[in-house]
Amino acid sequence: MIVNPEVKQKLWKFALRTPYSTEYLLQPTEWGKKIDIKKSFSPEIQSLWLELGSGWGEVAIELASAQSQVGFLLMEKKIDRIKATEVRRNRLGLENIRYMTTNFQWFFSELLETEVFDTILINFPDPWPKRKHHKNRVMQEGFLKEVHALLKPGGRLLFATDYAGYARHTIRLFRRMTQYFSHEQEYTFERPGFPISFFETEKRNEGKRIYYLERKKINLV
């Protein structure tokens, strides 16, 4: 996360300039004013998911099609991917998907209210395999504390990677954060009944092993 206030202000101005517009796109308007996600969906929505780095949206589209009473907020910085997802959403007539194009590694807790999401999904983030680049990985202790704050009590975090080193890195993080998250299994190689993205299909076809981690929020005393 960006901590330098001057850098944050510059990036904030950049984040406001999105070369794409749709009524399903949620944009920050002013510094310090968080977006009320619940009001962005219809009253019929009973729970909320957040997908960080939604890619081409195939996982969210499948989930949203099967769960009309769940609202899905997709954060994806690449506009072409949001556009492609919106074409499919519109074709299917799905009203339970919203987007944000702000880079969540720049701004995250500044944009969203606490304890609103039942599930936060992070599928295949950049593993930054070189040791000197590990600091760029999204899965860091500070980031996970922000995830913890956004989850409802008992909410869950779902994470997947095809890179064993990243899986080990993330497991070690969770071992240091047992006051924040609980689990039944440290990891599994299967996630039955869950949509599989194009990227995941490619990795499976290459013979890659996929590591799935699931954690539940523990309320801090």
Q: What does the block give as tokens for 175?
A: 């071992």
Which residue numbers are catalytic? 126
Q: 74: which strand partners?
A: 51, 99
Helix ranges (DSSP H) in 36-140: 58-66, 79-92
What is the C-alpha to C-alpha distance for residues 165 and 171, in angstroms, rounded to an integer? 10
Taking a C-beta distance cutoff of 8 angstroms, is the pair 98, 75 a contact?
Answer: no
Sign of CA pseudo-dihedral 148, 149, 152, 153: positive
* Contacts for 141-144: CB closer than 8 Å, 24+ residues apart: 141/173, 141/176, 141/177, 142/1, 143/1, 143/108, 144/173, 144/174, 144/177, 144/180, 144/181
Closest to 84 measured CA to CA, from 175, 34, 22:
22
Taking a C-beta distance cutoff of 8 angstroms, is the pair 120, 143 a contact?
Answer: no
